[in-house]
Amino acid sequence: MAIELSFACESFATDGTVQLSLASVPPTKLVIAGWTGRDAAAIQHHIHELELLGVPAPSTVPLYYRGSALLLTQAENIEVIGSDSSGEAEPVLFFANNEWWLTVGSDHTDRKVETYSVAVSKQMCPKPIATAAWRWIDVADYQDEIELHSRILEDGKWIPYQKGTFASIRPLNSLRDGFFPSTTPESGSFISCGTLGAIKNAKGEGIRPATSMELEIRDPRRKRSIIHRYNTTVLPVIA
């Protein structure tokens, strides 16, 4: 069982997992890396996927968006305005106690707002993040093997929504260093490192909203996982 992130050697569980609490690692900076696919065709696929929703193509690849650090949450339930938002699983690196750590989060985004401003859409929704983490130095050398999964609750059933490995995403070190060139950034710096395309359902729908979502990263070498599930409540849009 994972135990609280106190950074002492004895704080590590047998598999190297530690418990992450935003109370013990207060977020000071949130960066969301976009268009981070390693394969040009995969990037184009994701751009096309979003263009179908009216989202304009990026000005450069990758692109770094800023978000309020207050958006990060470990709550089981989040609230959003309107029914046009959806989540996406992403590896998240954060800096604490003079080293980088890895966890999983969701770049929950308002897709309607995204059609006119991706930057604004990133600021519209809470950003769920898991309650466990791994030392980045322990997995960095074989990061391409780490699996990224998500599932959504759709029509009363849990179905796969995203599936792949970090090999589909630019090396996380390069994404991190593209924004945080210093080896010792401010403690509580978080960077969300991009995502995978959505698996279409029987109706041919790719990116789509869901009332509940499950995020997961799997480490096949150490046979461990970090899983986080959250629910979304839609608040009415009042004119």
CATH architecture of the domain with range 3-235:
Alpha-Beta Complex (3.90)
Distance CA 96, CA 145 (A): 24
CA 142 distance to own-chain centroid: 19
Whole-number pLDDT of residue 11: 52
Whole-number pLDDT of residue 1: 38
What are the domain boundaries of the chain?
A: 3-235
Whole-number pLDDT of residue 3: 38
**% of the chain at pLDDT higher than 70:** 95
100-142: pLDDT as tens digits: 999 999 999 999 998 889 899 999 999 999 999 999 999 999 9
Distance CA 46, CA 39 (A): 11
Give, in order, the Cα–Cα distances in Å from 233 to each of 95, 106, 210, 214: 30, 15, 10, 15
182-235: pLDDT as tens digits: 778 999 999 999 999 999 999 999 999 999 999 999 999 999 999 999 999 999
Q: Read off the pTM.
A: 0.91
Go through the chain and tell me how many residues it has. Answer: 239
> What is the band of 143 on the pLDDT scale with cuts at 50, 70, 90?
very high
- Whether the pLDDT of residue 7 is over 70: the answer is no
- Whether the pLDDT of residue 12 is over 70: the answer is no
What is the average pLDDT value for the chain, to the nearest integer?
91
> What is the band of 239 on the pLDDT scale with cuts at 50, 70, 90?
confident
| 3-state helix/strand/coil string of 179-221 | HCCCCCCCCCEEEECCCCCCCCCCCCCCCCCCCEEEEEEEECC
